[in-house]
Amino acid sequence: RSLSVSKTDFIEDDYVCTLSEEYLQIAKDELNETPEIRNQSIKLMREWILNNERIVSCRMDSLFLLRFLRVCKFKVPDACAKLEQYLEILQKYPKWFKNVNIDDERTRALIEAQWLLPLPGKDKLGRQIYLFQAHNLDTKNFGPADLVHAAELINQMLYDDEEAQVAGYLCIFQDKGLTLGHLTIWSISEIREVMSYVSKGMPVRSKGYIHVSFPLVGRVILEISKTFMSQKLKDRTDFIEDDYVCTLSEKFLKIAKDELNETPKIREKSIKLMREWIQSNDKIIACRMDSLFLLRFLRVCKFKVPNACAKLERYLEILQKYPKWFKNVNIDDERTRALFEAEWLLPLPEKDQLGRQIYLFQSHKLDTKQFSPVDLVHAAELINQVLYDDEETQVAGYLCIFEDKFMTLRHLTMWTFSEIREVMNYISKGMPIRSKGYIHVSFPAVGKAIFDISKTFLSQKLKDRNKLVNTIDDLGKYMDLKILPKEYNTGGKYTGKEIAQAFIKLAEARKDELLIQDKLLIKMDNEDKTHHFPDNFIKGPGKSW
């Protein structure tokens, strides 16, 4: 097919509509298209191009113009404006849209790798389906420009397909093999540029983007991408709901019901309402919305959904307000790893008789000359992030044991009052976990004053759950001593070193997933203290509200 972009040599084409009766009906019902409107609109659009001094060269054949007319439902001024945006974007971003052809070896390799496939048949609604397969993309060999070139080649091949012009296209993303490497190859500016084209320039009817098996690690980056989309495209971006299955045993299901008002029906309804609240909350820019993440807040708030939403908002605000405590928390940090290897903090592998997760802090293992308060919080927060999604811990909570026999004044004075206030604010207001108590064993007299100051920053509930005991034997009143490390000679199965190494391996296995914490984003507005609850929050799923 011979095409011209010259305005001076244009010869009117002999266009004949190729649509079947089925598609003609869709075009009439959804796009207001009739033969008369089509012919008149094409004529008006050509005249506009010829008279527009900004447009130096442009295709004016009918199929090209119908791309814009159909996507704009034959509102000619809108179609002309979209064409102008399209030309501007192509010229503004040549790295994405110039030299797009199948002779480029990288483009051909991507198509041959089956990363993106335009499926040969239409679906039952007549839509063209694009299938993206993350597991077929080698992120070491291809960059964002390669991906856009391959996608744009397919676009250009199909833009003039009249059936696709009328019924639109649907993108299916099979994301089961998606990793952090697939996402971090993109910079924020690159995402913004490509989303500008998708949202404003592409002359095609987008009928939706469906992500299948989208991993936790990618949720936040997708939310960032959505900030550059029009509202229509945001509404048409969806997930196949996560395949959450409750893993709680009968013992923990009973605790959940008796203490948290949790039932399967309440759980499902509450998750749904909380997702709707996040999506409607303009303050929240990027947030995880998978079931396990939301259950952190729902369970700690006993399924009172407005309270859970408010706690999530505070959690996001605290993470953003205090980056020194909560950013870059990962096991690859050598100081964090060294703290675990020193066995200062151990998450004990066995739960106690009440099902609680036990954190054991051992002050005699902490070298105060080597480590700072930031290092300590990073280590503690890493354990939190690894264990927050443990359903048994979400339900039964955690108990902190502080073995303080060899604590010195240096252990206490390394903290400033402002640092104590900031960390206690997170513990008291932000942490999405059920705190079942803090027990200090052999706490020295030298620390009592600072201990009392720290308690002033806690809620009354947490103050009441802070206890002092004299010996390890006295600790037996509150927990089963057999789960302590072997070194305590109370019948434990594992040494401190074995416990530390097991946790390090667990943190390494979940490293990519945990990095998403740094991508959570909320608008910080000191004047806005409301929590934007939709009307349907007035009623709740049962008595738990």
The CATH number of residue 101's host domain is 3.40.525.10
Distances (CA, A) of 409 to 99, 227, 448, 451, 457: 68, 50, 10, 12, 20
Q: Are 352 and 419 within one domain?
A: yes
Q: Are 507 and 360 within one domain?
A: yes
d(CA 302, CA 3): 66
What is the span of the domain harbouring residue 224? 96-240
In a domain, 515, yes or no: yes
* Boundary-marking domain end, from 62, 92, 122: 92
In a domain, 536, yes or no: no
Look at residue 200 in the predicted model and tell me its pLDDT: 84
Q: Are 187 and 277 within one domain?
A: no
CATH number for position 47: 1.10.8.20
Q: Are 124 and 21 within one domain?
A: no
The secondary structure of 195-229 as a DSSP string is: HHIIIII--S-EEEEEEES--GGGHHHHHHHHTTS
Total domains in the fold of the chain: 4
Note whether 150 and 192 are within 8 A (CB): no
Q: Are 415 and 515 within one domain?
A: yes
* Boundary-marking domain end, from 297, 321, 345: 321
Q: Are 374 and 485 within one domain?
A: yes
Look at residue 539 in the predicted model and tell me its pLDDT: 37
Name residue 346's beta-bridge partners. Answer: 360
Token digits of residue 246: 């409750």
Q: Are 510 and 487 within one domain?
A: yes
In a domain, 485, yes or no: yes
Tell whether pTM > 0.75: no
Q: Does the CA dihedral 313-318-321-325 come out positive or negative?
A: negative
Q: Are 186 and 73 within one domain?
A: no
Q: Are 453 and 355 within one domain?
A: yes
d(CA 126, CA 36): 24
In a domain, 526, yes or no: no
In a domain, 200, yes or no: yes
Phi and psi dihedrals of 54, rounded to 5?
A: -70, -30
Distances (CA, A) of 187 to 32, 183, 194, 226: 40, 9, 11, 14
Q: Are 386 and 316 within one domain?
A: no
Q: Are 127 and 143 within one domain?
A: yes
Q: Does the CA dihedral 204-208-214-220 come out positive or negative?
A: positive
In a domain, 386, yes or no: yes
Q: Are 447 and 304 within one domain?
A: no
Look at residue 519 in the predicted model and tell me its pLDDT: 81
In a domain, 245, yes or no: no
* Boundary-marking domain end, from 92, 117, 135: 92
Distances (CA, A) of 525 to 284, 344, 432, 530: 11, 38, 22, 10
Residue 444: count other Cβ atoms within 10 Å of its Cβ: 17
In a domain, 492, yes or no: yes
Burial of 266 (0-12, 13-18, 19+ CB in 10 A): buried
Largest CA distance in the chain: 97
Look at residue 246 in the predicted model and tell me its pLDDT: 92
d(CA 280, CA 291): 18
Here the contacts of 182-186 (C-beta below 8 Å, separation 24 or greater) are 182/134, 182/137, 182/139, 182/218, 183/217, 183/218, 183/221, 185/139, 185/143, 185/144, 186/144, 186/221
Look at residue 449 in the predicted model and tell me its pLDDT: 64
Note whether 514 and 330 are within 8 A (CB): yes
pLDDT block averages, 10 residues each, the chain of length 545: 68 88 95 96 95 93 96 96 94 92 94 93 91 92 94 92 94 83 84 86 87 68 66 62 83 96 95 90 86 95 96 94 92 95 95 94 93 95 92 95 87 86 86 91 75 70 81 92 95 95 92 81 65 44 34
